[in-house]
Amino acid sequence: MREEHGDEYAEGYGDDHLVHADHREAPPRPRSRRVWLVAVGGVFTALVVVAGYGAYTMLGAVSGGSSPGGSSTGPTAAKEPQAPPTAEQADAVAKDFLAAWGRGDLTVAAGLTDRPEAARAALTSFHDGVSARSLTLTGTGPAAAGTTGEPTVGYRVRAEFDGTTEAWEYESALGAVRASDGRVLVRWAPTVVHPNLAAGRTITVKALPDPVSKPTDRKGRPLDAFPSLRSVLPQIAPPDGAKVVTGQAVVLTGGGQDAEELFVLTPPSAPRVKLTIDADLQQVAEEAVKQQSASGKPASLVAVQPSTGNILAMAYASQDGFNRAVGGGQAPGSTMKVITAAALLEAGVTPDTAAPCKETTNSPRTWHNDETGNHLDYTLSDDFIHSCNTGFIDKGLEKLQLGTLATVARDQFGLGLQWRIGIPSRDATIPAPSTKDEAAAAYIGQGQIQVNSLLMASVAATVQSGTFRQPVLREDVKRVTAPGKLPADVAQGLRSMMARTATQGTARTPMSGLSGQIGAKTGTVEAGSSQATNSWFIAYRNDLAVAAEVEGGGHGNSAAGVAAAQVLKAGGMG
């Protein structure tokens, strides 16, 4: 035993600062001193307690009697290198560290690291920023050795929060190091808290940006890829009383880097709106309009479900981006003869009533037909399927009062009732005529009448179902109802004439090959002596009604008819 060395070292510094007595002046005489002999592994080691300091210094090593950090050759010898911790020692310190961290004793946890101040600051920041209800840390066994060759211990973190049943879980690892005093400690690094944490960054709970819910089609499919709907979707308002829910997430921020979302506590939510649009049919409508407007001609198309009034597709092409499908106003041409025919049928005319198709007629203005010649044996149905202007003008002036057309359009077809479809739209303009010339023009869809594809698709839908159902783009909007109802015999007469038009008349070419319950009416609008005529076409096939118009597209059975038939072929099976 080397008891004589008991007073050769001054106490009061850390083990790295022991000072040899040979290099100092003699210290003052200590107030008291006691010596214990401690048996360690069969070898006695002297411990000296210096009264007034309250610290312990081990003077002799278990083997060889070397002093702390020195060798047996004397006090000036170099320190021997520390042996790295064993796997068992690393596992033990990791267990203690994780236990202290998990129970919230951050000072104790930090004291088990080689950088206690930095560790305590980081652990406190994590604790305060995350505010988990409970934190469970579980060792997962030895991890891959670090670059220093020190043992590494893996562990799993599970944080639970108030207000959610979902737990945040992730895995990380910590390394163990032997300190100069021989203790085994956790080697501190920000990655001990989270594998993605780095200096200058913080983990905290933050509110997520308020979501913007984009309307979907009726099956929940996205619609923002369709060119015709890009300007429509931002106009869709949330349902009445619906609120945006702001979400929260655990986020890694700071360090001059973008925020990284680590775990969503509360997902944000915005009111969801399903439109009546069918994405599959919308795609067909977009392609059909694109083809007919390829040379720069403005065009539009709307598809409506007669049994519900739901708008299934809406496409348009215009040079200024204006949605002419629901906001436009154009003369409908002979497609208006559907409403004129309804008025005549209500006035007692039947499809078989004689209505000669003369080459010209007067109101006193002179009117003519697309085709030359007289067809004096025509009935009203013949005039309808061949789109004879003079026959409709003569029969209208004979049977209808001025203003009757506007009344039938409003009461049986719902035109002019200020629809609210879910976005701004334009109502029909069907003014009461003040002269016979104005009345004659209205009977064949000319003059001051203004409509669009949405309105005329509804006309076709009303004929197919026999009942006006206001078209809507979303089912939660309040619809208007027509003051009256299309009489059953009138609806049947209109369907018979539209069916003949689709199979024998001006619409037979585009409607060729379509099966089921079909009906159609063409329209050709004179836009001026030096301009090409505008093409109109309305039709239905089973529970699908379509209206299309192409400005400068020629006859109704060409551009507009081709576009409408494409949509009917794709979606008119039901």
Coil vs helix vs strand at 572: coil
Length of the chain: 574
- Tally DSSP H helices, then E strands, for the chain: 14, 17
Give the per-residue pLDDT at 79: 56
Region 326-355: what's the mean pLDDT? 97
Q: Residue 426's closest CA among 437, 416, 438? A: 416
DSSP-derived letter for residue 77 is: S
Asked if pLDDT for residue 10 goes beyond 60, the answer is no
Region 6-18: what's the mean pLDDT? 36
Contact 67, 80 (CB under 8 A): no
Give the per-residue pLDDT at 378: 98
* Contacts of residue 190, Cβ cutoff 8 Å, sequence gap at least 6: 122, 197, 198, 199, 201
Give the per-residue pLDDT at 428: 96
Token pair of 569 as six digits: 């072929």
* Token pair 């006691």: residue: 34
Coil vs helix vs strand at 301: strand
Output the CA–CA distances (angstroms, integers) from residue 58 to 46, 87, 108, 141, in the order listed.
Answer: 7, 26, 24, 34
Contact 262, 250 (CB under 8 A): yes
Asked if pLDDT for residue 200 goes beyond 50, the answer is yes
Give the per-residue pLDDT at 319: 85
Give the per-residue pLDDT at 58: 28
CA 378 to the chain's CA centroid: 57
Query: For residue range 83-142, what is the model confidence (pLDDT) as tens digits?
Result: 889 999 999 999 999 999 999 999 999 999 999 999 999 999 999 999 999 999 999 988
- Cα dihedral 414, 454, 284, 231, rounded to 10, equals -130
Kindly report the average pLDDT of the chain as a whole number.
86
* Contacts of residue 164, Cβ cutoff 8 Å, sequence gap at least 6: 265, 266
Give the per-residue pLDDT at 43: 34
Domains defined for the chain, CATH in brackets: 3-58 (no CATH), 87-199 (3.10.450.50), 279-571 (3.40.710.10)
Contact 320, 296 (CB under 8 A): no
pTM greater than 0.75: no
Query: For residue range 301-321, what is the model confidence (pLDDT) as tens digits?
Result: 999 999 999 999 999 999 889
